[in-house]
Structure 1
């Protein structure tokens, strides 16, 4: 019975990594679609989001069954509860990638972003893609050193998010009202994507060490 339970726990870990891999593809393609106006790529991201949602529902059902049937304690309980939290966070990251793709589709054949912030968003796209790749690696390896790298990329996303607002509030901003709204929302989506990755990283650190890392970074 114990062997079956451990196999189920291992499969949950594998499925979380698979889910993260889908999120990784989603944010990479959504950002590319946003920056290039690639309609087919944007639509593919939107359709593929359902696979992420399905995985989350399946993971949650299996975790709840394990809680009900096995009544786990100590480390086992920590693993299952963390899996529930991580799957919800990954699902939200997938939603954010879908939102980015939806902006790209809605603006087609024009680009959603004004030229003034395209460079900043290219950097945000690169940072978000790195965050997603490192999140997948962290789920696969549980190498807690990766958590620090994710934190650093999240800091970069925060700074770029601030840069966008500085540009919009500056005297040289000439975007239309719609572009201003779109820029603010899209910047927020990328910034939140990084925040969710940090949440996953801290959950993994908690699983490995038993301690939940405190947020000691300065408030922005």
Structure 2
């Protein structure tokens, strides 16, 4: 029975990594669609989001069954509960990528980005892609140094998010542009927050300590 349980825990980690790879693809494609006004690419991100949602439901059901049937304790319970939390964060990251794609589709054939903010949003896109790749690697390797690097990229996303306020406050943008940029910057900022949540869950798995939203260890 223990061998079967161990195999199920291993499969859980592998499927979380597979789900994370889908999120990688989603955020990379969504940002590209936004920056290039690529309608077909935006549509593909929107259509593919249901796969990420389905994976979350499957993972959650399996985690609940493992708790009910195996009654795990100590580290095994940490693995399962962390799996539940991480799948929820990954699903939300997929949703945020879909929101970016939906905005790209809404503004097609024009772009949603005013000229003065193209560079900022491109930087947010690049940071989000980098974060999504790091999340997959952290899930696979449980590398604590890389988990810390995710927090650094989240700080960059926070700074870029804050920088958009300066432009939107100048009054040079139309009302619609201001709304679009406010939403986009928020989507990317939240994407980073969910990545940090996953990184902290991995730290918890490895060390048994968990940081709250203020960075304090619980």
TM-score by length of 1: 0.96
CA distance in 2, matches of 1:50, 1:198: 23
Q: Gapped runs of 5+ residues in structure 1?
A: none
Aligned equivalents of 2:213, 2:174: Cα separation in 1: 38
- The offset of 1:214, in angstroms, is 4.6
Partner of 1:3: 3
Deviation at 1:113, TM superposition (A): 1.2
1:81-100 matches, cutoff 5 A: 81-100=81-100
Aligned partner of 1:190 in structure 2 is 188
Aligned residues: 216
Offset at residue 166 of structure 1 (A): 1.0
Structure 2 counterpart of 1:147 = 147
Residue 205 of structure 1 aligns with which residue? 203
| Cα distance in 2, alignment partners of residues 110 and 152 from structure 1 | 33
In 1: Cα distance, 2:37 partner to 2:172 partner: 21
Deviation of residue 216 (structure 1)? 5.1
CA displacement at 1:71 relative to structure 2: 0.5
* CA–CA separation in structure 2 for the residues paired with 1:109 and 1:40: 11
1:177 — aligned with what?
Answer: 175
The aligned residue for residue 156 of structure 1 is 156
Q: How many Å separate the matches in 2 of 1:48 and 1:89? A: 17
In the other structure, the counterpart of 2:120 is: 120
Is the partner of 2:173 in helix, strand or coil? coil
CA distance in 1, matches of 2:122, 2:44: 20
SS across alignment from 1:145: helix
- The residue number in structure 2 matching 1:69 is 69
Runs of 4+ in 1 over 6 A off after TM superposition: none
Quote the Cα distance in structure 2 between the aligned partners of 1:3 and 1:184: 50
CA distance in 2: counterparts of 1:13 and 1:152, whole angstroms = 24
Residue aligning to 1:45: 45
Q: Distance in 1 between matches of 2:105 and 2:213?
A: 37
Once the two structures are superposed, residues 60-111 of structure 1 have per-residue CA deviations (whole angstroms, 9 ceiling, x without a partner) of 0000000110010000111000000000010000000000000000100000
Aligned ranges 1:53-64 → 2 under 5 Å: 53-64=53-64
Counterpart Cα distance in 2 of 1:106 and 1:216: 36
Distance 2:212 2:64 in 1: 28
Aligned counterparts of 1:213 and 1:184: Cα–Cα separation in 2: 28
Residue number in structure 2 paired with 1:79: 79
Equivalence for 1:18:
18
Report the 3-state secondary structure (helix = DSSP H, G, I; strand = E; otherwise coil) of the residue aligned with 2:111.
coil
In structure 2, C-alpha distance between the alignment counterparts of 1:214 and 1:89, rounded to whole Å: 15
Structure 1 CA distance for aligned equivalents of residues 67 and 212 of structure 2: 27
RMSD of the TM alignment (CA)?
1.2
Residue 154 of structure 1: CA displacement? Answer: 0.3
